[in-house]
Amino acid sequence: MASIIPLDPAKRKASSALDDLAALVQEDLLAVNDVILSRMQSPVALIPQLAGHLIAAGGKRLRPILTLASARLCEYGGIRHRKLSACVEFIHTATLLHDDVVDESRLRRGNPSANALFGNKATVLVGDFLFSRAFQLMVEDGSLDVLRILSNASAVIAEGEVLQLTTSNNVRTSEQAYLEVIRAKTAELFAAACRIGAVVAARPAPEEEALRTFGLNLGLAFQIIDDVLDYSAEQARLGKSIGDDFREGKITLPVILAYNRGNEAERHFWRRTLEDLDHRRDDLEKAMSYLRRTEALKDAAERARHYGAIARDALGLFPSHPVKDVLLSVVDFTLEREY
């Protein structure tokens, strides 16, 4: 959770918003890490090995942190949210494992993916295990409301993944279809993670709804910006890998906008690269120039700002609170990541 202070102080506030949030819930987060590590154990040694590769390597823990922060914002004084935010992370990890198998990914967060190291078979099955383990933890907690929220989210995620399969490599995917996919695949789990904070604190329905709205729209903004960053010149300058979505033929909002706005030559280019996966030298540069010409990246980010604004307004219901301020900065951070 230590934050490295960036050189440019102007960017410090935005880039450390996630660290600030983690710091605010630090005690809870350490406890969540303990739950995660102890509950991914199994007498079958391959399970903690494989799960640990992804979980212990530790992404940002963004989703469980959202559960912790939401509970804190709701003035929850207990510890149930710790176990439940571990559930959220287990469900997220299970979907990442299955995603990697489905996408045949070789890398995840710059490291070899679980399927690359352990094979598809074990990766599918350990995903199933983590998913079941999440439900076991929820049953231990005993709240049918939480079980309902997360079983619904899980079904919607799976539905979204299948929907994405059927729209994949089709540049004529509509913006609405794209939105429905990212809502199902990403935003619903953000929404559930936040909502659970209000549920454990037994807050009235409007607050639960406000946190659901916050999470859902933060999730949409997060995913759109993620999709924009894959074509970001600034990311490339920072030495980060770009163009993964392009090479896989993933249909994301920047491409949808560029295709709709493009001339016939450009549309032909997008079909060749994303539908036929026929890639040539300098195609990524060409893609980025078309995205620039059609202002697709800029306007995709503009769309993300719309969802960010909804997320921000959703917190208006809550009185002034240190967690509220940091959650608002997280929205800013999500939108202002360099592209």
Residue numbers at the binding site for a copy of itself (CB under 8 A): 42-47, 95, 98, 101-102, 120-122, 124-126, 128-129, 131-133, 135-136, 138-139, 142, 144, 147-148, 151-152, 154-155, 157-159, 161-163, 165-166
The 8-class DSSP code of residue 316 comes to G
Nearer to a copy of itself, 1 or 102 (CB): 102
Q: Measure the CA–CA gap between 27 and 240, rounded to whole angstroms.
A: 32
Q: Measure the CA–CA gap between 154 and 127, rounded to whole angstroms.
A: 13
Q: Shortest Cβ distance from residue 40 to a copy of itself (Å)?
A: 11
Q: Shortest Cβ distance from residue 67 to a copy of itself (Å)?
A: 19
Nearer to a copy of itself, 45 or 265 (CB): 45
Q: What is the DSSP string of 36-79?
A: HHHHT--SSTHHHHHHHHHHTT----HHHHHHHHHHHHTT--SS
Q: Shortest Cβ distance from residue 163 to a copy of itself (Å)?
A: 5
Q: Shortest Cβ distance from residue 215 to a copy of itself (Å)?
A: 19
For Cα atoms 277, 221, 318, give the angle at the middle one, nearest 5 degrees.
165
- φ/ψ of 41, rounded to 5, equals -75, 155
Nearer to a copy of itself, 7 or 45 (CB): 45
Q: Shortest Cβ distance from residue 99 to a copy of itself (Å)?
A: 9
> CB of 249 within 8 A of CB of 168?
yes
> CB of 206 within 8 A of CB of 281?
no
Q: Shortest Cβ distance from residue 103 to a copy of itself (Å)?
A: 8
Nearer to a copy of itself, 161 or 338 (CB): 161
Q: Measure the CA–CA gap between 212 and 198, rounded to whole angstroms.
A: 9
Nearer to a copy of itself, 182 or 288 (CB): 182
- φ/ψ of 58, rounded to 5, equals 65, 110
Judge residue 305's burial from the number of C-beta atoms within 10 Å of its C-beta, 0-12 exposed, 13-18 middle, 19 or more buried.
middle
> CB of 137 within 8 A of CB of 83?
yes
Q: Measure the CA–CA gap between 186 and 198, rounded to whole angstroms.
A: 20
Nearer to a copy of itself, 54 or 296 (CB): 54
Q: Shortest Cβ distance from residue 181 to a copy of itself (Å)?
A: 10
Nearer to a copy of itself, 22 or 156 (CB): 156
Nearer to a copy of itself, 47 or 71 (CB): 47
Nearer to a copy of itself, 4 or 45 (CB): 45
Dihedral (C-alpha) 295, 297, 303, 308: value to the nearest 10 degrees?
Answer: -140
Q: Shortest Cβ distance from residue 87 to a copy of itself (Å)?
A: 11
Q: Measure the CA–CA gap between 332 and 326, rounded to whole angstroms.
A: 10
Q: Shortest Cβ distance from residue 124 to a copy of itself (Å)?
A: 6
Q: Measure the CA–CA gap between 132 and 146, rounded to whole angstroms.
A: 15
